[in-house]
Amino acid sequence: VPQTYRQVILKDRPVGEPAAHHFELVERPMPEVAEGQVLRRTLFLSLDPYMRGRMSAMKSYAAPVDLGAVMVGGTVSQVVESRNPAFKSGDFVLGYDGWQEYGLSDGSGLKKMVDWRWPLSYALGVLGMPGMTAYVGMLDIGRPKPGETVVVSAAAGAVGSVAGQIAKIKGCRAVGTAGTDDKCEYVVKELGFDACINYKTQHVLRSLRKNCPDGVDVYFDNVGGPILEAVLRLINVHARIPLIGMISQYNATELSPGPNLVPLLFNRALIQGMIVNDHVDRRDAFLQDVSGWLREGKMKFREHVVEGLENAPAAFMGLFRGENFGKLLIKVAD
Amino acid sequence: VPQTYRQVILKDRPVGEPAAHHFELVERPMPEVAEGQVLRRTLFLSLDPYMRGRMSAMKSYAAPVDLGAVMVGGTVSQVVESRNPAFKSGDFVLGYDGWQEYGLSDGSGLKKMVDWRWPLSYALGVLGMPGMTAYVGMLDIGRPKPGETVVVSAAAGAVGSVAGQIAKIKGCRAVGTAGTDDKCEYVVKELGFDACINYKTQHVLRSLRKNCPDGVDVYFDNVGGPILEAVLRLINVHARIPLIGMISQYNATELSPGPNLVPLLFNRALIQGMIVNDHVDRRDAFLQDVSGWLREGKMKFREHVVEGLENAPAAFMGLFRGENFGKLLIKVAD
């Protein structure tokens, strides 16, 4: 264990897009491990769009990160010293240690990764929060039926890629949207979607209309904005729209107008916001189903791994420009 | 039975607000009653906002009314001649004869009003489509829990007045919006809402914030537009928004922007469009509960009755300007 370790703290609250000067990389002395505590070294840090909300003073899902405090985030770590009988040196743990190289606590909230047969990082992706978000959002709110048409935005991303593959497993036509031709090719050729629209180069409404000849029954929305607006014009009676993310809106400095909701009324359709923390009761079913699909080769998952905690701010900023291709992770240590 | 009878037909499709020249009052020869048919005289015609959608060529809930065809609408009638054994002269029937003084058909779709203990017109109001819309929308989508805050727009209207009273019966705080001080006074003093906001003279967001100190758990929306936008800023976690009508949008000539949906996401809230035709399975429960509440004096209902079929177009146009005060009905005959 070294004498010091590094953290990324929130230095200033962004108005609009986050930039480098909103973060600060600081060095801290390594703390003593007191009786009952467990010290772990961060291996992987998950970077996710929801973190933008925590940078603002405004309430989003949860309380904001205080100025000067460590940025929050899900982590996979390895225990390096334990004075808590529930953990021993060498244990791999899933936690919420945030943007730092080491975490120290009494261990509450840490989950031991016992009999873990997958890459460690999967606990932050396809078998973690993003995968479970896709699972609950698609199955419990989207409720796809065989033969229906399901549209998924950010289809190459951590959540969207899982959501669309679940739609395929459930016998639906799956149409994705993504921001580059490479991502679209991946979504169709690797993930097995029926089509994928590059929303930056194609006319979204026209392309959706062409690729959804029977209308849209489920729209799994990760982005909000103009894609939601276009999809609403094509929804069928009793369509379901799980509202999972609105990455297009997270850097907005004021509440801009949204989509016209008349189609929702005429089609007796539903839009429902969801966060996965409300659905812990679905965790076992999720892990069982998605592990099974991974084993059977029905589910693929791509990761975008950036090395080094010092690169977390830049990687995070890139999320909002679609620079990642797959689940964005920081490899903090080996 | 006279030699002729009158109908109001759709003469032209409105773009924007409907006007007198979109309708035509025509006189028809009285048809012969063929074997199996039943002829009835219209007593009451219901006028409802959804009819605006039927005047447009665009699909709304249902197919548009053809040009030259009789305007559609719910009716209470009395059988004057029957060659169908299921009906006899003098029977009161609930039907969908539209804007005309007589209806003739094989009787399919007609409901005999047997043992009807209420004013006949109630079958088109509190004990009819509007009342059932309020019942299903509030209970099945709104799902109000005791102590919650429920906002209802168009609170003095046929649907809103029932919805808000149900919220009170369920132990909620009910806050209405309406377009005149008279209506607001009625909503509070007669219907028992806790507060009512005149959206034409008061600042809606500010007044809502004042009158909903614990936020909004259910918004029963009949109007869409700026009131929906304001309420969305005040919703609580897991709020439910039954989207029942969007009268503010029905005369729109293009899809205007709607509300920003970020609050829906952050609060894991739900907006769901509903039309009552999808919920016939709830009819018995509705009739039993609402009749009971009427008998016990827990439910009041106000009607706005205009005499004479010739006045139907003007009365209908007045709906969109809030000129009615209570359920709008045409008394076609005694």
Over residues A35-55, the pLDDT tens digits come to 999 999 999 999 999 999 999
Of B257, B265, B273, the CB nearest to A265: B273
Chain B residues with beta carbon closer than 8 angstroms to that of A228: 261
Rounded mean pLDDT of A188-205? 98
Closest CB to A262 among B233, B255, B268: B255
B249, B257, B271 member nearest A257 (Cβ): B257
DSSP-derived 3-state class of residue A161: helix
Q: Supply A114's token pair.
A: 């016992």
pLDDT above 90 coverage of chain A, percent: 94
Query: Burial letters for A296-305: b for 16+ Cβ neighbours within 10 Å, e otherwise?
Result: eeebebbbbe
Give the residue on A whose Cα is nearest the Cα of B275: A268
Measured between its terminal Cα atoms, the distance across chain B in Å is: 14
Rounded to the nearest angstrom, the minimum Cα separation between A200 and chain B is 21
B253 contacts in chain A (CB < 8 Å): none
CB contact (8 A) between residue A268 and residue B261:
no
B interface with A, Cβ–Cβ below 8 Å: 53, 59-61, 224, 228, 233, 238, 243-246, 249, 252, 255-262, 264-275, 278
pLDDT at position A58 is: 77
pLDDT in tens, B220-240: 999 999 999 999 999 999 999
Q: Which contiguous run of DSSP H or E holds residue A164?
A: helix A158-169
Q: Do A274 and B261 touch (CB under 8 A)?
A: no
Residue A61 pLDDT > 80: no
Task: Return the pLDDT at A102.
Answer: 98
A269–B264 CB contact, under 8 Å: no
Q: Which of B54, B235, B238, B261 to mutate to test the interface with A (most CBs of A within 10 A)?
A: B261
Checking if the pLDDT of A250 tops 90, the result is no
Element holding B163 (H helix, E strand)? helix B158-169
Q: From chain B, pick out residues whose CB is under 8 angstroms from the CB of A244.
A: 265
Q: How far apart are CA A161 and CA A200, in angstroms?
A: 18
Q: Is residue B37's pLDDT more than 90?
A: yes
Q: In A, which residues are within 8 Å of B59 by CB distance?
A: 266
Mean pLDDT throughout B33-52? 97
Residues B68-125 pLDDT 10s: 999 999 999 999 999 999 999 999 999 999 999 999 999 999 999 999 999 999 999 9
Q: What is the pLDDT of residue A248?
A: 84
Q: How many CB atoms lie under 10 A from the CB of residue B148?
A: 22
Q: Are B187 and B156 in contact (CB under 8 A)?
A: yes
Residue to substitute from A223, A247, A249, A262, interface B, most B β-carbons within 10 A: A262
Rounded mean pLDDT, A146-175: 98
Residue A60 has pLDDT above 80, yes or no: no
B260, A262: Cβ pair inside 8 Å? Answer: no
3-class DSSP state for residue A183? helix
CB contact under 8 A, B261 and A259: yes
Which residue would you say has higher pLDDT here, A249 or A128? A128
Nearest-neighbour CA in chain B from A53: distance (Å)? 9
Percent of chain A scoring above 70 in pLDDT: 99
For residue A247, what pLDDT is reported?
Answer: 86
Q: What is the pLDDT of residue A251?
A: 84
């989950």: which residue's tokens? A111
Classify residue A212 by burial, with Cβ atoms within 10 Å: 0-12, 13-18, 19+.
Answer: buried
Nearest chain A residue to B62, by CA:
A266
Q: Strands, E, within chain A: which ranges? A: 4-10, 23-29, 38-46, 75-82, 92-95, 102-105, 111-112, 149-152, 173-178, 195-198, 216-220, 235-243, 270-273, 303-307, 327-331
Closest chain B residue to A258, measured at CA: B260
Beta-carbon separation of A249 and B259 below 8 A: no
Please tell me the predicted confidence (pLDDT) of residue B333: 97
Three-state secondary structure call for residue B32: coil
Q: How close are the terminal C-alpha atoms of chain A, in Å?
A: 14
Write the pLDDT tens digit of every residue in B51-73: 999 999 876 777 899 999 999 99
A257–B259 C-beta distance less than 8 A = yes
> pLDDT band at B253, cuts 50/70/90?
confident
Classify residue A17 by its DSSP letter.
Answer: S
The pLDDT tens digits of the residues spanning B281-315 come to 999 999 999 999 999 999 999 999 999 999 999 99
Contact B272 A270 (CB under 8 A): yes
Contact list in A for residue B275 (CB cut-off 8 A) is 268
Average confidence (pLDDT) over A252-278: 92
For residue A313, pLDDT over 90 is answered with yes
User: If pLDDT is split at 50, 70 and 90, which confidence band does B254 have?
Assistant: confident
Among B20-24, B215-219, B318-322, whose mean pLDDT is lowest? Answer: B318-322
- Strands A38-46, A327-331: pairing is antiparallel
Can you state the angle between helices A225-232 and A204-211, rounded to 10 degrees?
50
Does B264 sit within 8 Å of A271, measured CB to CB?
yes
The whole-number average pLDDT for the span A70-98 is 98
What is the distance of C-alpha B262 from the center of its chain?
A: 30
The pLDDT value given to residue B63: 85
pLDDT in tens, A92-123: 999 999 999 999 999 999 999 999 999 999 99
pLDDT tens sequence across B239-250: 999 999 988 888
Query: How far is Cα of residue B152 from the mean position of the Cα atoms in its chain?
Result: 14
Give percent above pLDDT 90 in chain B: 94
Per-residue pLDDT, B281: 97
Chain B residues close to A275, C-beta within 8 Å: 268
The answer to whether A154 and A247 have CB atoms below 8 angstroms apart is: yes
Q: How confident is the model over B158-206, as pLDDT tens digits?
A: 999 999 999 999 999 999 999 999 999 999 999 999 999 999 999 999 9
Q: What is the mean pLDDT of chain B?
A: 96
Q: What pLDDT score does A63 carry?
A: 85
Nearest-Cα distance to chain A for B34, in Å, is 38
Residue contact A272–B269, C-beta within 8 A: yes
Nearest chain A alpha carbon to B238: A273
For the segment A18-30, the average pLDDT, to the nearest whole number, is 97
- For chains A and B, count residue pairs whose Cβ atoms are closer than 8 Å: 105
Q: Identify the closest residue of chain B to A248 by CA–CA distance.
A: B262
The rounded distance, in Å, linking the Cα atoms of B132 and B154 is 16
Indicate yes or no: CB of B261 within 8 angstroms of CB of A243: yes
Chain B residue numbers with beta carbons less than 8 Å from the beta carbon of A273 are 261, 264-270
